[in-house]
Amino acid sequence: MTDKINVGIVGATGYTALELIKLLLRHPNVQITRITSRDESHPHLSDVHTSLRDRLDLRFEHLEMDRFPEGVDCVFCCLPHAASAAVVGQLLDANLKVIDFSADYRLNDVASFETWYGVEHPDAARIGSVAYGIPELFREQIKTSKLVANPGCFPSSAILPLAPLFKNGLVQSSPLIVDSKTGVSGAGRKANLKFHFPECNESITAYGVGTHRHMPEIDQILNRFCGSETEAVFTPHLVPMDRGILSTIYLQRCDGIEEDQLMDCLNEYYRHEPFVRVTSQIPSTKDVSGTNFCDITVRSCRGTTIIVSALDNMIKGASGAAVQNFNVMHGFEETLGLL
């Protein structure tokens, strides 16, 4: 049996692709063979990602379906929403496995996607049947999947702590408040005035208030995992740091449930999981920066339960989760390339 999987990266000029390549370069069973960009002004990978100088000598190519699948077994598709679903079907038809970074296959139904994303879904037939890429919750489905919907960064920070608590009937579904802070890299590498240094440095702002598209993702995935009926009120805040997400989650315990039972439940559920650290300390983004860890703790105040979680938006929130999913899909040790 060949040990190396040939990997193609679509959308390789972006931030998540850079983090992905750095992880894959230390993966013993991966050979990166093809990388794509629409832009011809920078032929080599290291013209764009200068930190990869002398580490991987590849040329960008346009994604052309008559050539791209040659020499590729598995694709990491790092494109924006809708652009991704426009190509994923063709990649699958070419018999490639795909890990999709966008939100195109995360939700349960087309109507929700089109409502929250405001665009028509280019591959509507597949939506709802695709494995959601949190291996800690959906490992068995991921193992046998040809397409995995890699999770959103904010949803990962909320779903990881909440899922075991709902599954065990320890917390109430309403109210559920998820207050999150994110570093600027969460917005990707593409130019956007809001994310220019003088616009966001020395400032913190909420955005997507009452409208952010990660609300249905949190609700639907919790429902898929354990049948809960939440309506998460989620507000993200942009903070002047490169990377990291810190989520503070407020909810009520079920009657008769003590705070200790929540920590016990999380400790028990994640006991054998290498990337979720349930801790008595308060998590911080610095502790998880550049790693595939999600750190979680639980506190109580005046009858309200407060959960704090931290992860790196580009690692456990994107590329690290993708490599973890890749490992599960190919039967490799789940920590390869990640520890």
Ligand X SMILES: CC(=O)N[C@@H](CCC(=O)OP(=O)(O)O)C(=O)O
If binding is defined by CB under 6 A, does position 11 make contact with ligand NDP?
A: yes
The entry of ligand X, ligand NDP, none that residue 189 binds, CB within 5 to 8 Å by partner kind: ligand NDP
In the complex, the smallest distance separating the C-beta of residue 13 from ligand X, rounded to whole angstroms, is 16
Residue closer to ligand NDP (CB basis): 15 or 293: 15
Q: Of residues 113-152, which lie at the interface with ligand X (CB under 6 A)?
A: 152
For the stretch 258-262, contacts whose Cβ atoms lie closer than 8 Å and that sit 24 or more positions apart, written own/partner, are 259/298, 259/299, 259/300, 259/305, 261/170, 262/165, 262/170, 262/171, 262/298, 262/305, 262/307
If binding is defined by CB under 6 A, does position 186 make contact with ligand NDP?
A: yes
Total binding residues for ligand NDP by CB under 6 A?
A: 28
**What is the Rg, in whole angstroms, of the alpha carbon atoms belonging to the chain?**
20
- CB-based contact 151:220 (threshold 8 Å): no
Element (H, E) at 321: helix 320-329
The entry of ligand NDP, ligand X, none that residue 53 binds, CB within 5 to 8 Å by partner kind: none
If binding is defined by CB under 6 A, does position 120 make contact with ligand NDP?
A: no
The entry of ligand NDP, ligand X, none that residue 78 binds, CB within 5 to 8 Å by partner kind: ligand NDP
Spell out, one character per residue from 176 to 215, where the chain touches ligand X: x when CB under 6 A holds, - when not. Answer: ------x---xx----------------------------
Give phi and psi for 8, each to the nearest 5.
-110, 145
Question: How far is C-alpha 143 from the geometric centre of its chain's CA atoms?
Answer: 17
* Cα→Cα distances 146→75, 130, 156, Å: 10, 9, 21
The residue within the footprint of ligand NDP, chosen from 78, 98, 170, 176 (CB under 6 A), is: 78
Q: Of residues 14-73, which lie at the interface with ligand NDP (CB under 6 A)?
A: 14-17, 37-39
If binding is defined by CB under 6 A, does position 149 make contact with ligand NDP?
A: no
Three-state DSSP at 32 gives strand
If binding is defined by CB under 6 A, does position 238 make contact with ligand X?
A: yes
Instruction: Please state, in angstroms and rounded to a whole number, the distance separating the CA atoms of residues 123 and 104.
Output: 8
One-character DSSP codes across 179-239: EEEE-GGGG-SS--GGGSHHHHTT--EE-STTT-THHHHHHHHHHHHH------EEEEEE-
- CB-based contact 253:259 (threshold 8 Å): yes
If binding is defined by CB under 6 A, does position 236 make contact with ligand X?
A: yes
If binding is defined by CB under 6 A, does position 122 make contact with ligand NDP?
A: no
Residues with catalytic roles? 153
Residue closer to ligand NDP (CB basis): 257 or 294: 294
The entry of ligand X, ligand NDP, none that residue 89 binds, CB within 5 to 8 Å by partner kind: none
In the complex, the smallest distance separating the C-beta of residue 202 from ligand NDP, rounded to whole angstroms, is 22
Element (H, E) at 173: strand 171-182
Q: Give the interface with ligand X as residue ranges (CB under 6 A).
A: 103, 152-153, 182, 186-187, 236, 238, 313, 317
